[in-house]
Structure 1
């Protein structure tokens, strides 16, 4: 997901979008970026149900 630029572009053209990242830092950056332009972002972060990669 990185900084969320793809999510912002999808929202801009009225497309549905979902973002994933292994870094909480980048999830927060992307959420902030989208919320600065649009105020409808919902977070469904739930660490208890996320699987470990390694």
Structure 2
């Protein structure tokens, strides 16, 4: 999700589309939160590991 957020941010910046910029920020923040929660050992969505 972090990579998708970065891609959306870049595309939103290059094409000057504000909705892509906004979605990129949201996806990046959610991805970072899930990565932090997962690295601390908390189960996310009932699973401890995502493959």
Same fold (TM over 0.5): no
Structure with the largest fraction of helix: 2
Task: Name the structure, 1 or 2, with higher relative contact order (CA <8 Å, separation 6+).
Answer: 1
Larger of the two Rg values belongs to structure: 2
The TM-score normalised by the length of structure 1 is 0.32
The TM-score normalised by the length of structure 2 is 0.33
